[in-house]
Amino acid sequence: MQAGFLYDVFVSYRHQEPDQSWVRGVLTPALKAEGFKVCLDVECFTLGAFVLGEMERAVRESRYTLAVLTPAYLESGFAELEELMAEQLGLEGKSRRRIVLMREPCDPGLRIRTRLWLDMSDDSGFTEQMARLTQALRQDLGSPRGA
């Protein structure tokens, strides 16, 4: 992990089914099996703390914010806020701090459509896409490919 960060990746997702089960039961265990330190709200947010403050802390303390796109995610104001914070920190540090993962086909806004995303909507390609994700997460912030 790069110095100055507590986590490799903060996973931003919608807390409803099927998003919640997939993130907590499939994606997060796969990331941890690859050796990544994952910031997941149900494990890392301080009970009783202000939710917005915990979201900001998670984005700041993580090398990357991984947005798990679904139609439900795009409807969430909290998800949009996490996304904006990650983008802002990326602009300040002149490095890409957000990775977008398309879990279900949906129509993201222009801000998201201007970036390349990882398509994980087909479970038959999970292994290949997971390898691509882990490669991206292992890149140092500020590297030429991370710009």
Q: Where are the domains of the chain?
A: 7-141
What pLDDT is stored for residue 87 in this prediction? 66
Among 50-59, 80-89, 114-123, 137-146, the least confident range: 137-146
Give the per-residue pLDDT at 2.
59
Return d(Cα 8, Cα 25) in angstroms, integer. Answer: 19
Which region among 30-39, 64-73, 135-144 has the lowest average model confidence (pLDDT)?
A: 135-144
pTM of the model: 0.82
Share of the chain above pLDDT 70, in %: 74
In CATH, the architecture of 7-141 is: 3-Layer(aba) Sandwich (3.40)
pLDDT digits (tens, 9 = 90+) for 121-130: 999 999 999 9
pLDDT exceeds 80 at position 23? yes
Rounded Cα distance between 63 and 128, Å, is: 22
Percent of the chain with pLDDT over 90: 49
Query: Which residues 6+ apart lie within 8 Å of 38 measured at CB?
Result: 7, 8, 9, 10, 11, 28, 31, 32
Nearest to 73 by CA among 45, 44, 100: 100
How many residues does this entry show for the chain? 147
pLDDT given for residue 7 in this prediction: 96
pLDDT score recorded for residue 83 = 66
SS (H, E, C) 46-59: CCCCCHHHHHHHHH
Q: Is the distance from CB of 55 to CB of 85 less than 8 angstroms?
A: yes
Question: Can you tell me the mean pLDDT for 93-114?
Answer: 72
Residue bearing the bigger pLDDT, 3 or 21: 21
In terms of Cα–Cα distance, which of 135, 47, 56 is closest to 99? Answer: 135
Instruction: Give every CB contact of residue 26 below 8 A, 6+ residues apart in sequence.
Output: 126
